[in-house]
Amino acid sequence: MRFFIDTADVAEIADLAASGLVDGVTTNPSLVAKTGRNFLEVVREICELVPGPVSAEVTAVHYEGMLAEGRKLAKLAPNVCVKLPLTWDGLKACKALSSEGTQVNVTLCFSAGQALLAAKAGATFVSPFVGRLDDIGHEGMQLISDIVEIFRNYPDTIRTEVLVASVRTPNHVIEAARLGAHVATLPPKVLRDLVQHPLTDKGLAAFLKDWEKTGQRIL
Ligand code: E4P
């Protein structure tokens, strides 16, 4: 499973990318607004830090505007993945941009039917939002299970990857991997939380205490 980082914070991305565990980045207008920085500059900088896909979202809501913005974003770097909302115009723009060879991430997916349409429109990724579904009392992971199952039924025609978004906890990531989702985009805190286990900390402290008693050094 590939891990993308869900943030527009360049310093945070640089820090996490140094681990070698980051396969891509997703941003959205809300994440960009949090930085207070110029969107195009931020996208350029992220694309230099991470070789994998960097999702940059259009803000136009009509087809022509989405197409124009998408083409401009795609020119920023070869690893830009244009993010389009799952609307009728977004799907049309997805079809057009993907036909031109641009990577597209169709975002704000909340149903399996929407995911099927994104796949038919040639999306590179479709982003179902698990956390926001959980927030309204639905089962976000059931949507991932449904989409993965449906896509697997059409291995010859559906190439779209399931990008699990709106991830809130390490359990979301584990469950998404169990279900066979291709990618999860993780807020930095969730990636850091994945490494934590109290027994790891306790075990390490005990090993180091015993090692001290030997009076030895490796270096
Ligand atoms: C990623 O592509 C999405 O924009 C993001 O995961 C949304 O997460 P949120 O529901 O926590 O805002």
Give, using CA atoms, the residue closest to atom 10 of ligand 1. Answer: 166
List pLDDT tens digits, range 159-192: 999 999 999 999 999 999 999 999 999 999 999 9
| CA gap 89, 73 in Å, rounded | 17
Going by the DSSP 8-state scheme, the letter that residue 112 receives in this structure is: H
Number of compact structural domains in the chain: 1
| CA gap 181, 173 in Å, rounded | 9
Q: How far is CA 70 from CA 10, 14, 119, in A?
A: 21, 25, 18
Contact 168, 131 (CB under 8 A): yes
Give, using CA atoms, the residue closest to atom 8 of ligand 1. Answer: 166
Which class for 45: exposed (0-12), middle (13-18), buried (19 or more C-beta within 10 A)? middle
Question: How many C-beta neighbours within 10 Å does residue 89 have?
Answer: 18
Contact 122, 70 (CB under 8 A): no
Is the CB of 129 inside a 6 Å radius of any atom of ligand 1? yes
Give, using CA atoms, the residue closest to atom 7 of ligand 1. Answer: 166
Q: Give the Cα-Cα-Cα angle 159, 90, 184 (nearest 5 degrees).
A: 50
Question: How many C-beta neighbours within 10 Å does residue 39 have?
Answer: 18
- Per the annotation, the verdict on 120 as an active-site residue is no
Q: Which of 6, 34, 144, 164 to mutate to test the pocket of ligand 1 (most atoms within 8 A of CB)?
A: 6
List pLDDT tens digits, range 52-108: 999 999 999 999 999 999 999 999 999 999 999 999 999 999 999 999 999 999 999
Q: What is the ipTM of this complex?
A: 0.98
Contact 126, 118 (CB under 8 A): yes
Q: What spacing in Å lies between the alpha carbon of 200 and ligand 1's midpoint?
A: 30
| CA gap 2, 143 in Å, rounded | 19
Structural domain span for residue 159: 2-214
List pLDDT tens digits, range 102-158: 999 999 999 999 999 999 999 999 999 999 999 999 999 999 999 999 999 999 999
- Residue 199: inside a domain, yes or no? yes
List of long-range contacts for 154-161, beta carbons under 8 Å, 24+ apart: 154/119, 158/119, 159/119, 160/115, 160/118, 160/119, 160/122, 160/123, 160/124, 160/125, 160/126, 161/124, 161/125, 161/126
User: Which atom of ligand 1 approaches the CA of 55 most closely?
Assistant: 2
Catalytic entry in 34, 72, 75, 83 = 83
- Residue 7: inside a domain, yes or no? yes
The domain that holds 185 is classified in CATH as 3.20.20.70
- Residue 187: inside a domain, yes or no? yes
| CA gap 84, 59 in Å, rounded | 8
Give, using CA atoms, the residue closest to atom 5 of ligand 1. Answer: 166
Q: What does the pLDDT read at residue 60?
A: 98
User: Which atom of ligand 1 approaches the CA of 127 most closely?
Assistant: 2
> Which conformational region is residue 215 in: left (phi greater than 0), alpha (psi within -120 to 50 degrees), or beta?
left
Helix (H) or strand (E) run with residue 187 in it: none
Contact 54, 76 (CB under 8 A): no
Is the CB of 169 inside a 6 Å radius of any atom of ligand 1? no
Is the CB of 127 inside a 6 Å radius of any atom of ligand 1? yes
- Residue 125: inside a domain, yes or no? yes
- Residue 219: inside a domain, yes or no? no
- Residue 26: inside a domain, yes or no? yes
Average pLDDT over residues 37-43: 98
